[in-house]
Chains A and B, each alone.
Chain A
Amino acid sequence: MSATFLGMPGDFPTNAARAVKDSQLRYNLRKATHTIRGKRAAVVDELPDWHELRAAGKAVKDETLRHLDRYLLQLEEAVTAAGGHVHWARDAAEANRIVADLVKATGETEVVKVKSMATQEIGLNEALAAEGITAYETDLAELIVQLGDDFPSHILVPAIHRNRAEIREIFLDKMGDAPPGLTDEPAALAEAARLHLRERFLRSKVAVSGANFMIAETGTLVVLESEGNGRMCLTLPETLISVVGIEKLLPTWRDLEVFLQLLPRSSTGERMNPYTSTWTGSAEGQDFHLVLLDNGRTDVLADEVGRQALRCIRCSACLNVCPVYERTGGHAYGSVYPGPIGAILTPQLRGMSSELDASLPYASSLCGACYEVCPVAIDIPEVLVDLRAKAPHGAAERAGMRVAGWILNDQARLARAQHAAIRLRRLVPKRLPGPLSAWTDTRDLPEIPDESFRDWWEREG
């Protein structure tokens, strides 16, 4: 990747306005989000105890965060006892330095990677490149993004903004060993990627991964995936380096019984993802390094309203129900964390000094759909409203008014915004939130029928 994603120019309204004009992008996004949304609803409805699982998931994460210091120390001890090495990184630069030094110590100049949002967040690939180390993404979607010199646009399907014809072009152009007669059939494209990556896996000595969960009690790391590139990276290389945000902890092995139900169903709408790998320390003789990443997370933790964002398990359910994300795509958010969760997590992690980050809390109609589907019950609208109050005025208000204009120029969008205001009455009585208040200050809010959000969403969504 030639540029670091964090430096993406523009602010949310400008980026969004550009994206909304792109009809191919809108078509892909709509198809993707609606398909996954439908599958998710079906498999969630299968579980009679979904609400209990969600309540447990939320509480386990809150309990972890409450005693994060203790659990991190417990994790460190367990990983070390199992033959692994633990490193602590205050920020992106420190994490990148640690990884680069570990790779250099092996004498290698290439690493394979399994999709990791934490390493995207810290710009690891670029930092390694500056040290003469090439990092190869191995997730099919990430490969498409990397070869296309592009940025991911969805947590779960990062290349969703690309169609099959574009992917074929990218492979023919950039893959080197792509078969000349390559068609744009998904099976043919996947086969070309399989052959391309297989050689690389079998010769790589060093791999870099993230993790979905870390278990404090046992020192176990857990990765969920579909393709098997995760298994390839985690299993074959001699050295494995995992870069993981400090909030990804769970206290006990038993807690997996909650999260291995919540995550796959929320994420891909499957009862279980095709592959889950767990390993503890130096499994099967591998040299294992765990880099624990802060990079702003302790600042989020210090915010009483905002800290709930650290419960996020990156399932992407909130993206798939968000009417704003559906129209704008992930690039508008200028962050590796797009959609509703990105709109609260990014400004908290990075602060709101840039125009983009100050505009993100306005990248929402506050309709509440994200909260309804979130498997760990993060009240994203509540955090958005709180962040709006904290954003520096000037830039944020300008951004907010432009998003408001975009919402208000369409009746359906207005209905959603109003509905959100009903939900948020305890926060903003009788006024539409944020910049929309200019509109409600001169009008009374129309009566909205009293129905559940789910009914409304089924009807209007």
Chain B
Amino acid sequence: MSTRQGGAREEILGRIRRAVEGAPEVEIPRGYRTTTDVADLVELFAERVRDYRAIVHVLPAAGVPAKVAELVAGRSMIVPDGLPAEWAAPAPGVDPRSADGVLTGCAVAIAETGTIVLDTGPGQGTREQTLVPDYHLCVVRADQVVGGVPEAVARLDPARPLTWISGPSATSDIELNRVEGVHGPRTLEVIIST
């Protein structure tokens, strides 16, 4: 750190200390919900993901391999290490810049907002692998679905880079017309394994 930088740091901290001197302490009221009372997490999650115009399949675990095989047929797919072997054979080396799509699991899913969170852990690939291809197929296990945002935040590890996905890439910048996909996968397909 240069001397000039040290000067800026000390000066800003000094200004802050003078600015808040004598200001009252603040109590944070946490009366909001930290658990979400949802009768059927999977059903709500599926409904909310569909609201984003993503494609959703709800299947018993035994049906997942056949569905995955059907959906990836004919596509060059990135399949990262760490997915259950029965879903698909790993194909981690495919170049994301030429791949048609990527198959992943997830870290957590949120029913109330229809959100999938990736944390680059096993079966989730790198951030680049899930971003550049145009098609993302994600398998969510029912036990990964939580009710609301607080439950998800509590389960996640901030040391890992996280990507929260709520529907495909979208823009509303042109006269507020929603257009799917400027960057990021334009098609998001989700299999919920029950």
| Chain A interface main SS type | helix
Tell me whether A229 and B26 are in contact (CB under 8 A). no
Query: Nearest chain B CB to A345's CB is how many angstroms away?
Result: 16
Q: Assuming the A-B contacts A59-B27, A88-B8, A229-B183, are A298 and B171 also in contact, with contact meaning beta carbons closer than 8 angstroms in the complex?
A: no
Query: Nearest chain A CB to B47's CB is how many angstroms away?
Result: 11
Tell me whether B164 and A228 are in contact (CB under 8 A). no
Which of A47-55, A119-127, A329-337 faces chain B?
Answer: A47-55
* Most chain A beta-carbon neighbours within 10 Å: one of B28, B159, B181, B183: B183
Tell me whether A284 and B120 are in contact (CB under 8 A). yes
Residue of A nearest to B184 (CB): A228
Q: What is the total number of residues of chain B having a CB less than 8 Å from a CB of chain A?
A: 68
- Identify B131's interface contact among A31, A53, A226, A235, CB under 8 A: A235
Q: Assuming the A-B contacts A49-B33, A274-B166, A274-B168, are A31 and B153 also in contact, with contact meaning beta carbons closer than 8 angstroms in the complex?
A: no
A81 to B25, CA, bound (A): 29
- A41-70 residues with Cβ-Cβ distance < 8 A to B are 48-49, 52-53, 55-56, 59-60, 62-63, 65-69
Encode B146-170 as 1/0 by CB contact (under 8 A) with A. 0011100110001111111111111
Q: Is B39 part of the contact surface with A, judged by Cβ < 8 Å?
A: no
Residue of B nearest to A298 (CB): B15
B residues within 8 A CB of A186?
A: 174-175, 177, 179
Tell me whether A227 and B171 are in contact (CB under 8 A). yes
Q: Is B3 part of the contact surface with A, judged by Cβ < 8 Å?
A: no
A164 to B24, CA, bound (A): 51
Tell me whether A88 and B12 are in contact (CB under 8 A). yes
Tell me whether B20 and A72 are in contact (CB under 8 A). no
Residue of A nearest to B48 (CB): A271
Q: Is A87 part of the contact surface with B, judged by Cβ < 8 Å?
A: yes
A residues within 8 A CB of B189?
A: none
- Identify B182's interface contact among A158, A228, A276, CB under 8 A: A228
What range describes how many residues of A lie at the interface?
A: 35 or more
| Chain B interface main SS type | loop
Query: Nearest chain B CB to A220's CB is how many angstroms away?
Result: 5
- B118-161 residues with Cβ-Cβ distance < 8 A to A are 120, 126-128, 131, 148-150, 153-154, 158-161
Q: Assuming the A-B contacts A59-B29, A256-B153, are A280 and B158 also in contact, with contact meaning beta carbons closer than 8 angstroms in the complex?
A: yes
Tell me whether B114 and A272 are in contact (CB under 8 A). yes
A231 to B16, CA, bound (A): 33
Tell me whether A187 and B179 are in contact (CB under 8 A). yes
Tell me whether A48 and B184 are in contact (CB under 8 A). no
Query: Nearest chain B CB to A138's CB is how many angstroms away?
Result: 8
Tell me whether B113 and A272 are in contact (CB under 8 A). yes
B residues within 8 A CB of A163?
A: 175
A254 to B181, CA, bound (A): 31
Q: Is A14 part of the contact surface with B, judged by Cβ < 8 Å?
A: no
A367 to B76, CA, bound (A): 57
Residue of A nearest to B110 (CB): A272
Tell me whether B184 and A276 are in contact (CB under 8 A). no
Q: Is A159 part of the contact surface with B, judged by Cβ < 8 Å?
A: yes
Q: Is A5 part of the contact surface with B, judged by Cβ < 8 Å?
A: no
A residues within 8 A CB of B149?
A: 256-257, 260-261
* Most chain A beta-carbon neighbours within 10 Å: one of B26, B34, B148: B26
Which of A191-199, A358-366, A415-423, A438-446 faces chain B?
Answer: A191-199
- Identify B159's interface contact among A138, A218, A284, CB under 8 A: A218
Tell me whether A271 and B174 are in contact (CB under 8 A). no
Q: Is B31 part of the contact surface with A, judged by Cβ < 8 Å?
A: yes
* Most chain B beta-carbon neighbours within 10 Å: one of A63, A139, A229, A298: A298
Tell me whether A68 and B16 are in contact (CB under 8 A). yes
A-B contact pairs, 22 of them (CB 8 A): A52-B33, A68-B20, A72-B12, A88-B5, A90-B8, A139-B173, A158-B173, A164-B174, A190-B179, A190-B181, A194-B181, A198-B183, A227-B169, A253-B158, A257-B150, A257-B153, A261-B149, A271-B112, A274-B168, A277-B164, A298-B12, A298-B19
Besides A63-B28, A227-B183, A276-B163, 4 other CB < 8 A contacts? A36-B176, A49-B31, A49-B32, A66-B23
Q: Which residues of B contact A (CB under 8 A)?
A: 5, 8-9, 11-13, 15-20, 23-34, 48, 51-52, 97, 110, 112-115, 120, 126-128, 131, 148-150, 153-154, 158-177, 179, 181-184
Please provide the 10 A-B residue pairs with the shortest distance between their CB atoms, ordered closest to farther.
Answer: A228-B184, A228-B183, A298-B15, A302-B19, A276-B164, A272-B166, A52-B32, A257-B150, A301-B19, A141-B173
